[in-house]
Chain A
Amino acid sequence: QSVLTQPPSVSAAPGQKVTISCSGSTSNIGNHYVSWYQQVPGTVPKLLIYENNKRPSGIPDRFSGSKSGTSATLDITGLQTGDEADYYCGTWDRSLTAGVFGGGTKLTVL
Chain B
Amino acid sequence: QVQLVESGGGVVQPGGALRLSCAASGFAFSDSGMHWVRQPPGRGLEWVAFIRFDGSDKHYADPVKGRFIISRDNSKNTLYLQMNNLRAEDTALYYCAKELYDSGSYDYWGRGDLVTVSS
Contacts and interface: CB of A to CB of B under 8 A. Distances in A.
Interface of A: 2, 32-33, 35, 37, 39, 44-47, 50-51, 56, 86, 88, 90-92, 96-104
Contacts of B26: none
Interface size class, chain B: 20 to 34
A90 B59 contact: no
A104 B44 contact: yes
Contact of B95 (A44, A50, A98): A44
21 contacts: A2-B44, A33-B104, A33-B105, A35-B103, A37-B45, A39-B45, A45-B95, A45-B106, A47-B105, A56-B107, A88-B45, A90-B45, A90-B106, A97-B59, A98-B59, A99-B61, A100-B47, A101-B37, A101-B45, A101-B46, A102-B44
Interface string B99-119: 010011111011110000000
Contact of B109 (A44, A92, A97): A44
A37 to B, nearest CB: 7
Interface in B76-116: 95, 100, 103-107, 109-112
Contact of A35 (B61, B62, B104, B112): B104
A8 to B, nearest CB: 10
B72 interface: no
Contacts of A100: 47
B60 interface: yes
A28 to B, nearest CB: 10
B29 interface: no
A98 B61 contact: yes
A31 to B, nearest CB: 11
A88 B46 CA distance: 11
Contacts of B47: 90, 98-101
